[in-house]
Structure 1
């Protein structure tokens, strides 16, 4: 990567020394002496991250196409979004965001909007018919809910259901994945009798468990489906949510591994790839990793009742404070959202494009990915990402609340009450 690298390896230290230190590379600098515009980009897609090669190549190609722009990449250490999200929250608190960053976390954007820290790209996007034609404007509107502005630009939609171990299911007498929750629980009981844990769950990352919770919530009623797609849900004290929490607790206590409460996503994923569990609810971006570890014994299935997890993917934002830097930031964001990039991300990363103009047949896609692309056009209901459903206060407490639910230290009613109290 030709871009200047600003390595942020000591996140905990930067948080401890105070907010002013954290704002050092953020906020957009003016034109340099050589006439170039410099932008700072936060990214954890570096080092050993699965997206590192893609990101480095795209940054390099951007700088070749835009020699008038210097890109300074501040590398956020960590293979998950946790460090990146923590860094962004500190930057919001300091009143300084970088020229370019991306996130999946709606709560961070809500905080940034309240502090008026985001650049509005509406005029630039309205004038850019070429890019606009490759985006899903409903997804754009979703990321910018509650305003007429365009703060975030996204160009892929996450869509997925359950991954399952075909060999484990076949040994249990199942040639295909169950189509209803009753059938799924029958499978869980059968696997339990065979000494196999059905569900890969965890609480520390809170991803698998939260998605399974939302899937159970959506399956019960139309109200449950509505709640499972609500951005910033604040009322969890409903019969639908409490019933879903009861189902999740049952999965923890009867149909998952004993290490599920308190473990993180790496443990749960390893349990699935090492045949210790039969089912995991995770994204299409995981296909390459799963097939490398498990070969062709990985299958993909709808959520019971022909449902799926579906929501706008991560969006790109800018904290630039002057027009020249904002214009350069927009060009960078456009580079990472155009038709070419969407095709590259689908092929290399397993991220489903927003553009309707991409020829899937011309790309090298796995059979599992082709199956998911077919599934997305034939679905009865969807649930959103937990990071869009949970407001910031719930995101902060959900790991310990899930662990308490999973170990039986709290009841489903207490779980719902605690989330509601945190939200209000």
Structure 2
């Protein structure tokens, strides 16, 4: 018998809107601009006439990006709270890969924004932290119990340099990734997460999975991660890449998993999977061209009636259910970099603004609003009664909450434990060859190893 573990579910769009309104309004009026010249969004200044410290930061969580649904209103709530003192404007960057390149470019020009959300993890770990580009957060965190007490220990350790100084804001939440399925097309009374992968594939029959091969092959990579995790030694192999990126893929756990992925691509892939970007895979699922899609809990808002303009062919978001992967596998990594860091070149006033923003987004109210909007768990946060009452009101996230137990195996995404250039641009290139059978699993493993070796030599 599994013991239920406390896990934060989420509200979807309609309930989220009400929740955010109570926190200061659901609609964002934060100034947003598109990426322009080299200096756009890379500087910050205090308005000497008004006394307001105003900064502009690049962000890919704007416009149509799924992350904008929560992030833009959150920035607006911060601006409202600190009206007359601080203001954050957002410079829109089309996608995270372009954002990573832009931040590197700004660093080379000594024009880093005051606040940076992420960046290429390898670059942050191997360039930003060792070269002192990030502001030392240690003393501030230790002097701010409300922040210190909610940080995940593994993340704090990972976000620190060799001297134990915290250079990147550690995580306070974790969001296990599983998959969603359309119960109108495929349903089972069995506990899917308790199945083996072979039992799952057998139960699936000829139902289709929405895969992607373009960009970083996101959906395919999630399934591959789960497939690797169920192989002997797979969990350990994936976790070995947290500290040192994996460069040797000629391992039985990887090759066997790729063989199973190839079988799914050839027999259960939605018709548009080859060449599909994530948006195409999502469209396949929400147009009943596929019964299953792997993705994180943040996708739950797409299944609310307020987003029914994304649906077609009779798709009904109310019919969507969710599960962790067979083998009780949840994809999540607590030993990882947090999302935010402060530029060491920022002025004293700008650093004060940045600290105020971090303290704001790590406050109990904002952490709970974030989890209600996008799902997840804050292991060290004491939840409010209101949050606990709301967390089970969205079916798919109640499903994930029920699946997350003391027996759940958490593993990092394979895209996070291989060199970034391989993950972002190379991984998806050979996936179509798996689908058409022109590439064997062994050849795929060798190709990945060769690309990883090239990346490591750069």
TM-score with structure 2 setting the length: 0.79
User: Partner of 2:325 in structure 1?
Assistant: 303
For residues 169-248 of structure 1, what are the structure 2 equivalents within 5 Å?
A: 169-170=186-187, 174-176=188-190, 178=192, 179-188=195-204, 190-191=205-206, 196-197=207-208, 199-205=209-215, 206-221=217-232, 223-229=233-239, 230-231=241-242, 232-248=245-261
1:57: how far off?
3.4
* 1:319 counterpart = 2:343: yes
Which of 165, 188, 192 is matched with 1:149 structurally? Answer: 165
* 1:48 counterpart = 2:64: yes
Distance 1:354 1:30, change over 3 A: farther
Q: Is the 8 A contact 1:102 1:315 kept in 2?
A: yes
User: Partner of 2:397 in structure 1?
Assistant: 369
Which of 33, 38, 59 is matched with 1:7 structurally? Answer: 33
1:31: how far off?
7.8
Larger helix proportion of the pair? 1
Distance 1:6 1:286, change over 3 A: closer
Secondary structure of 1:235 counterpart: coil
For residues 22-421 of structure 1, what are the structure 2 equivalents within 5 Å?
A: 23=39, 25-26=41-42, 28-29=44-45, 32=48, 34-52=50-68, 54-67=70-83, 69-78=85-94, 80-103=95-118, 105-110=120-125, 111-144=127-160, 148-153=164-169, 154-170=171-187, 174-176=188-190, 178=192, 179-188=195-204, 190-191=205-206, 196-197=207-208, 199-205=209-215, 206-221=217-232, 223-229=233-239, 230-231=241-242, 232-292=245-305, 293=311, 294-312=316-334, 315-321=339-345, 322-359=347-384, 360-363=387-390, 365-395=393-423, 396-421=425-450
Distance 1:340 1:138, change over 3 A: same
1:331: how far off?
1.2
1:33: how far off?
5.9
Aligned partners of 1:278, 1:162: CA distance in 2, in Å?
A: 10
TM-score with structure 1 setting the length: 0.84
Distance 1:24 1:287, change over 3 A: closer
Distance 1:269 1:40, change over 3 A: same
The range that moved more, 365-374 or 138-147, is 138-147
1:121: how far off?
0.9
Distance 1:249 1:96, change over 3 A: farther
1:362: how far off?
3.5
CA deviation profile, 1:185-226 (whole Å, cap 9, x unmatched): 2134x22xxxx42x21111131111111111111011x2102
Aligned CA RMSD, in angstroms, stands at 2.8
Aligned partners of 2:129, 2:63: CA distance in 1, in Å?
A: 31
Distance 1:72 1:62, change over 3 A: closer
1:56: how far off?
3.7
Distance 1:362 1:71, change over 3 A: same
1:379: how far off?
3.3
1:146: how far off?
5.9
User: Partner of 1:18 in structure 2?
Assistant: none
The range that moved more, 114-123 or 155-164, is 114-123
Distance 1:387 1:75, change over 3 A: farther
Structure 1 unmatched ranges of 5 or more: 15-20
Structure 2 unmatched ranges of 5 or more: 1-27, 306-310, 454-458
Distance 1:295 1:257, change over 3 A: closer
